[in-house]
Amino acid sequence: MIRSMKYLAVIFFVSLSGCSLPAKEESPFGPWHAFIYEQTAKYEQTRVYHGEYARLTYCMEALQVKTSYSGNAYFCGYNCPGLGIPNVSYTCEKVMGSPLTTLD
């Protein structure tokens, strides 16, 4: 009886430890912030924030999928101070993305 109780206790604790959620992936070169230039009027584009990614490759892949049908320009930015603060302009330390075309 005691042996079966120990066995059940071990199974219980092993099952609890295996049910933890994975930690958020961290990268020394992240996070990267995703932006898409969406056309709001005939000659006007607006930069729209589309989330944060742990790595540049994840950011680029997500934006390529999101813009595959629209053809909108996009970029991923690293170290963008002021992001999320209303009415504050910001620039990113590093950017990677699709080529930006001028509007005719």
**Residue carrying structure tokens 């080529």:** 99
Query: What is the mean pLDDT of each successive set of 10 residues along the chain, which is 104 residues long?
Result: 49 43 56 89 84 93 89 89 74 82 44
* pLDDT of the residue at 53: 94
| pLDDT per residue as tens digits for the range 50-64 | 999 999 999 999 999
* pLDDT of the residue at 41: 83
Judge residue 54's burial from the number of C-beta atoms within 10 Å of its C-beta, 0-12 exposed, 13-18 middle, 19 or more buried: middle
Q: Which amino acid is at 69?
A: Y
